[in-house]
């Protein structure tokens, strides 16, 4: 091998390395410098990882009052009483948030919500009283008589399970008994 071919190979290799470093230099820091678990725990900056996966969720959070007040993701995503915890990259979180997760900071609003039509009456509007315990029905009926102590909606039988789950339950799940009412009976 001649000196000239070795020199050309070294120059091309060096140019490729410099080019790679230059390209990497212009990449966002969030992509090139992933935070450690201890930094995320200390700062609550879950968005640094999630911005690449769920941009819209992170963007909505950045526009929220919680972000303006310095409330981080981990504070809201802590499992509430009775929720199944999920191990997420070394953090224990609640996979699906419910109204019960808001309770630790917003007790008056939570109690108002429990008494609203968005709680038990919302779920009962689709599935009737069968998913609820007798105590849950009694509690809800105290605020909206006839809204929870009722049969399933007739449309659920006509539409079928798949349409009910993907259509009706996607909104009415806000009052799902397992996500909401264990807190009423346990703490309320």
- What H or E segment, with its residue span, contains residue 85? strand 85-88
Quick check: pTM over 0.85?
no
Distance CA 27, CA 22 (A): 9
Q: Give pLDDT tens digits along the chain (188 positions).
A: 788 999 999 999 999 999 988 887 777 665 566 666 666 655 556 877 787 888 888 888 888 898 888 888 888 888 887 788 898 877 888 877 888 888 889 999 888 888 888 888 888 888 888 888 888 889 889 999 998 999 988 888 888 888 888 888 878 877 777 665 444 444 44
Rounded Cα–Cα distance for residues 58 and 52 (Å):
9
């Amino acid at each position: 091998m001649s000196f000239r071919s070795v020199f050309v190979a070294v120059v091309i290799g060096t140019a490729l390395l410099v080019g790679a470093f230059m390209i990497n230099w212009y990449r966002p820091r969030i992509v090139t410098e992933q935070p450690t678990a201890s930094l995320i725990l200390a700062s609550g900056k879950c968005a640094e990882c999630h911005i690449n996966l769920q941009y819209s969720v992170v963007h909505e959070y950045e526009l929220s009052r919680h972000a303006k007040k310095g409330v981080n993701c981990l504070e809201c995503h802590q499992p509430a009483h009775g929720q199944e915890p999920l191990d997420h990259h070394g953090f224990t979180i609640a996979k699906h948030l419910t109204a019960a997760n808001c309770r630790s900071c917003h007790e008056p609003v939570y109690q108002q919500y429990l008494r609203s039509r968005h709680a038990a009456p919302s779920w009962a509007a689709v599935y009737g009283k069968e998913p609820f315990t007798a105590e849950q029905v009694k509690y809800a009926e105290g605020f909206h008589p006839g809204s929870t102590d009722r049969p399933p909606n007739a449309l659920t039988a006509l539409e079928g399970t798949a349409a009910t789950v993907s259509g009706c339950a996607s909104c009415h799940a806000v009052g799902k008994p397992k996500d909401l009412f264990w807190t009423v009976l346990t703490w309320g």
